[in-house]
Amino acid sequence: MWLPAELDIWLEGAADLSHAEFGVLRCLSTSEDREIHMSRLAATASVTPSHLSRIVGRLERRGLLSRSTDPEDARRTLARLTGPGAELLNKVEPGYVAEVRARVFGLLDADQRNQLEDLAETILTPLRGECITLLPPRSARP
């Protein structure tokens, strides 16, 4: 609970973004063609559809993403990361990663980091197994 609040403060100062807004941009940046259906985006970003709608509205007003009707299914809406959104994300992401490393991993020794990784995988696998399958093999992780 406290870590996202601290990251919110950092993101607000660095890019005038909330943690939730950053998460939405990040999800879009990792999806194919930087585009995703709003319903999937809500699930991936772990926000409710109504909260996502407000987040997307703010980001759209800033020109960081755009919405359009899915040409294959007019009942669905696509969100797409814009060039300025990608630029902002590329600018802020290294600092965000450095903040997470400093506030979490920098406080742990190697054994503690390995324990945290084991615990996180154990907890996340039944909740978000698809996330675990996207991780690189342990031998390739920093």
Predicted confidence (pLDDT) per residue in 7-42, tens digit: 999 999 999 999 999 999 999 998 888 999 998 888
Token pair for 126: 């039944």
Instruction: Using 70 as the pLDDT threshold, list the residues of the chain that sit under it.
Output: 134, 138-142
Position 34 scores a pLDDT of: 93
Per-residue model confidence (pLDDT) at position 139: 67
- Tokens 């807004």, residue located: 21
CA-based end-to-end distance of the chain: 25
Which pLDDT belongs to residue 47?
Answer: 87
Residue 78 DSSP symbol: E
Strand 65-70 and strand 73-81: pairing?
A: antiparallel
User: Do 47 and 69 touch, CB atoms closer than 8 A?
Assistant: no
Right CATH number for 2-107 from 1.20.1440.230, 1.10.10.10, 3.40.640.10, 3.40.50.620?
1.10.10.10
- Rg of the chain over Cα atoms, rounded to whole angstroms, equals 16
The pLDDT of residue 127 = 83
Q: How many CB atoms lie within 10 A of CB 108?
A: 12
Cβ atoms within 10 A of the Cβ of 66, count? 15
The pTM (predicted TM-score) of the whole model is 0.83
